[in-house]
Amino acid sequence: MLSVISLGGSLVYPKTLDKPFIDAFVELISDYAAKGNKFAVYCGGGYLARKYQKIFSFLKNKNFLDWVGIFATRKNAKTLKKSIKANIHKKIVTNPTEKIEFKEDVLLAAGWKPGWSTDYDSVLLAKNLAAGQIINMTNVDYVYDKDPKKYGDAKPIHQISWPDFKKLVGSEWKPGLNMPFDPIAAKEAEKLGLKVIIIGKDLKNLENLLNKKSFSGTIIS
């Protein structure tokens, strides 16, 4: 079974490098790879990206700020690659549309080009690898009806359609945008008929999902 995981950079690098999370994540997917599963993991930029985008924001150059974020995703992917002991694809994929000979157990991918988030890139990779769904691990456990960091009465959504999800997130992508799944990626995922599952960083929850057991999260389809 192939699982495409869009791994939020906020989990890899929330304020500093989260080595305990990285080690536990790597151990989990290595264990499942040993049982015959395959993983394609797309790394986001998270705090590292936003930190440097803020530093260079005075330049008012959207293209340059996107490149700053892209290099942050690639740094996070390289960090992850150093920890993985499973049979791993030798190259970190940065073009999700290129022909990929993926015969190993684990493939890592990172940012591609300006104007495209790693959420969007993961959708293109899922299409390329003929995967029907994406597991999107982020810093919130669900999609909410409004920002839970601002509103104490925000309600979690367990299942939502693509049209309703797009009403929540809007239609514009901006460098450093921080939401569960970006608007442009949502549009493309809907067009391809992909299912996206939003979950938080709890690895036991990810394990339940991989085992087709009850899990906490939001299904978008």
Cα separation, 50 vs 208, whole angstroms: 31
- What is the pairing mode between strands 156-157 and 106-109? unpaired
What is the DSSP-derived secondary structure letter of residue 145?
S
Q: What is the pLDDT of residue 72?
A: 93
Q: What is the pLDDT of residue 150?
A: 84
Q: In angstroms, how far is CA 47 from the centroid of its own chain? A: 14
- For 2-220, which CATH superfamily applies? Acetylglutamate kinase-like (3.40.1160.10)
DSSP class per residue in 5-19? EEE-HHHH-SSS--H
Q: Is the pLDDT score of 17 beyond 90?
A: no
pLDDT tens-digit map of 45-89: 988 888 888 898 888 888 898 899 999 999 999 999 998 888 999
Q: Is the pLDDT score of 177 beyond 70?
A: no
Give residue 135's pLDDT band: very low, low, confident or very high (50, 70, 90): very high
DSSP class per residue in 58-103? GG--HHHHHHHHHHHHHHHHHHHHHH--S-B-SS-B--TTS-----
Longest dimension (CA), the chain: 49
Q: Which two tokens stand for residue 202?
A: 């709890």
CA dihedral 175, 7, 4, 87 (to 10 degrees): 120
Instruction: Report phi then psi at 125, rounded to 5.
Output: -70, -40
CA dihedral 47, 127, 124, 165 (to 10 degrees): -60
> Which run of H or of E encompasses 25?
helix 19-34
Amino acid letter, residue 182? D
